[in-house]
C-alpha cells in the first residue's frame, strides 16, 4: 500500500486523478490522505468521485472513502479490463478529466475499448473537448497511445448533458518524444460556440480575437449548438510545423465578451512570444503519458505548480528522473525519463 499526502504541492484534484491512473497502470494499491485539504471546499467533490467510480469500474477495484467531502481514499486495483463502458458524471463535471484518468490504463490493455461519456464537455478550469482532441491526443499518438474522440452534444456548466464517444486502441511503444522546437506557425484559427445566447456575443469575441491576433476573416467561425443550457466557449488553435496547441476561454456571467476573448488572445500572444513548443497546460498533462511511454523532453513556459506537483506524484510510483531548467528568459525545458542530462544547458554568464 502506497500512502500519499494529497495536500502536497498544488494540492488539488489532479493529484487524485494522477494517482488513480498510476495505481491502475502499475497495480499499486494506494491511500490518499488530506485530499484537497487547503481548498475552501475540501475533500472529494462530484467530479472527483466520477473519476474514482470510472476507475473502479474498469479495473474492479476495492474502494473505501469514495464519498462526498471525504479527505481520505483507499483504492486497491485489480486487473484493468478493456471493453465497452458508459460513464455518466452526473453533473456538469468534466468528462475530459474523467477520460484522461482512464485513457492510459485502458491503452495498456491488449484489446480496444469503447467509452460513452456524459457530463460537461466545456468547463472552466478543465480542458475542453477541442483541446483534448486537437492538442493532447496527437501528442499521445507520437508516444504510442492511440485514441479518438467524437463530440455528439455540447455540455456547458452548470447544466451539463454533453455526450462524447471515445475509442481507445492498445498501446504500441514508440521512441522518446523530442519536442524542443515548434517550428513556424502554419495556421491560426478561432471558433466561438454559443448555446441559448445572443449571436452578438460571438461577433464581439471574434472582433477582439481578429484585432489582437491579426486573424484574417476566413480563419474565424461561429456556431450555435443545441445544448441543455446556455453556454459560450471559444478556442484558438495554433498549428505549427511540429505541434498543435489549443487555447480556450468560456463566457462567464458578469464578464464581458470582450474581456473573455482578450484573455484568450493574451495567452496565445505569451505562447508565441516565448518561442516554446508546448504551452503550460499541455506541459502539465503530457507528463503522465511520457512517464508510461519512453519519456522525452520538450520546451515550454515556466512550469506551473500543477506541473511540478504532477512530476512529484509520478515519481512516487515510477523510478524516473525529472528535470526542469530555464534555457533562456521565458523559455524552459522539461525532461522526464530514466536518465538525467536530457536538456541543453546554457553556459553561465
Least confident of 130-139, 298-307, 334-343: 334-343
CATH code of domain 280-337: 3.30.1370
Asked whether the predicted pLDDT for residue 288 surpasses 70, the reply is yes
pLDDT for position 341: 67
Residues with catalytic roles: 306
Domain ranges of the chain: 1-79, 82-174, 185-272, 280-337
Mean pLDDT of the chain: 94
CATH architecture of the domain 185-272 equals 2-Layer Sandwich (3.30)
Model confidence band, residue 340 (pLDDT cutoffs 50, 70, 90): low
pLDDT for position 349: 30
pLDDT for position 347: 39
Unique residue bearing C-alpha cell 531548467: 325
pLDDT, one tens digit per residue, over 231-265 is 999 999 999 999 999 999 999 999 999 999 999 99
β-strands 113-119, 73-76 pairing: unpaired
Give 236's contacts (C-beta < 8 A, 6+ positions apart). 188, 189, 190, 209, 213, 246, 247, 248, 264, 265, 268
What percent of the chain stands above pLDDT 70?
A: 97
Tell me if 213 sits within 8 A of 268, measured CB to CB. yes
CATH code of domain 1-79: 3.30.110
- Provide the grid cell at 293: 511511454
CATH code of domain 82-174: 3.65.10.20
pLDDT for position 191: 97
Model confidence band, residue 345 (pLDDT cutoffs 50, 70, 90): low
pLDDT for position 78: 97
pLDDT for position 158: 87
Nearest residue to 91 via CA among 49, 35, 55: 49
Read out DSSP for 210-265?
A: HHHHT--GGGEEEEE---SS-EEEEEEEEEESS-EEEEEEE--TTS-HHHHHHHHH
Amino acid at each position: 500500500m502506497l500512502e500519499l499526502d494529497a495536500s502536497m504541492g498544488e494540492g488539488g484534484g489532479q493529484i487524485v486523478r494522477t494517482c488513480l491512473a498510476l495505481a491502475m497502470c502499475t497495480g499499486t494499491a494506494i491511500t490518499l490522505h488530506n485530499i484537497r485539504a487547503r481548498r475552501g471546499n475540501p475533500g472529494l467533490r462530484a467530479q472527483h468521485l466520477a473519476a474514482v467510480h470510472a476507475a473502479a469500474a474498469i479495473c474492479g477495484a476495492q474502494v473505501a472513502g469514495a464519498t462526498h467531502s471525504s479527505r481520505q481514499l483507499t483504492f486497491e486495483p485489480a486487473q484493468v479490463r478493456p471493453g465497452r463502458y458508459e460513464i455518466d458524471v452526473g453533473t456538469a463535471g468534466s468528462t475530459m478529466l474523467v477520460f484522461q484518468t482512464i485513457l492510459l490504463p485502458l491503452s495498456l490493455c491488449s484489446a480496444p475499448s469503447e467509452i460513452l461519456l456524459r457530463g460537461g464537455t466545456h468547463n472552466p478550469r478543465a480542458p475542453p473537448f477541442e483541446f483534448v482532441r486537437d492538442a493532447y491526443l496527437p501528442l499521445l499518438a507520437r508516444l504510442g497511445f492511440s485514441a479518438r474522440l467524437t463530440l455528439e452534444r455540447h455540455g456547458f456548466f452548470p447544466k451539463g448533458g454533453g455526450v462524447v464517444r471515445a475509442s481507445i486502441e492498445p498501446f504500441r511503444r514508440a521512441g522518446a518524444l523530442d519536442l524542443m522546437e515548434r517550428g513556424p506557425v502554419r495556421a491560426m484559427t478561432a471558433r466561438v460556440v454559443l448555446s441559448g445566447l445572443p449571436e452578438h456575443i460571438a461577433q464581439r469575441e471574434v472582433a477582439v480575437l481578429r484585432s489582437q491576433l491579426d486573424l484574417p476573416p476566413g480563419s474565424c467561425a461561429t456556431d450555435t449548438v443545441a445544448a441543455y443550457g446556455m453556454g459560450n466557449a471559444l478556442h484558438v488553435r495554433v498549428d505549427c510545423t511540429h505541434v498543435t496547441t489549443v487555447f480556450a476561454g468560456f463566457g462567464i456571467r458578469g464578464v464581458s465578451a470582450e474581456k473573455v476573448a482578450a484573455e484568450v488572445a493574451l495567452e496565445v500572444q505569451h505562447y508565441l512570444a516565448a518561442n516554446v513548443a508546448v504551452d503550460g497546460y499541455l506541459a502539465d498533462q503530457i507528463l503522465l503519458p511520457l512517464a508510461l511511454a519512453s519519456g522525452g523532453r520538450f520546451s515550454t513556459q515556466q512550469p506551473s505548480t500543477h506541473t511540478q506537483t504532477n512530476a512529484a506524484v509520478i515519481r512516487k510510483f515510477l523510478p524516473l528522473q525529472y528535470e526542469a531548467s530555464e534555457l533562456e528568459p521565458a523559455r524552459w525545458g522539461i525532461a522526464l525519463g530514466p536518465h538525467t542530462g536530457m536538456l541543453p544547458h546554457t553556459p553561465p554568464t
